[in-house]
Amino acid sequence: MSPEAIIEVLGYANGTSAPVRLMLRDGSELIGVPSSVDTHVAAHEVFLMSSDEDDEMEIAVSLATILSAELIS
């Protein structure tokens, strides 16, 4: 998946509070709701909130580590 397509999916999900599934270069998978997508060269990351309403954990993921992003329901 192209970096532009990944950013497009993350941007849409961020604007609509939709959950996404991210596949990372190391083979791991993350599921969450983007709370911020920062494409500035100094940051180049997405912040994901847990999709579990009882868990308020937020993690930062470098956009360079993401292989694919898909909306989930």
Q: What is the pLDDT of residues 22-72, one digit of tens each?
A: 999 999 999 999 999 998 878 899 999 986 666 678 999 999 999 999 999
C-alpha to C-alpha distance for 7 and 46, rounded to whole angstroms: 9
Residue 50 backbone zone (phi > 0: left; psi -120 to 50: alpha; other: beta): beta
C-alpha to C-alpha distance for 10 and 4, rounded to whole angstroms: 10
Structural domains in the chain? 3-71 (2.30.30.100)
C-alpha to C-alpha distance for 52 and 61, rounded to whole angstroms: 18
The pLDDT assigned to 53 comes to 66
The pLDDT assigned to 40 comes to 87
C-alpha to C-alpha distance for 13 and 62, rounded to whole angstroms: 17
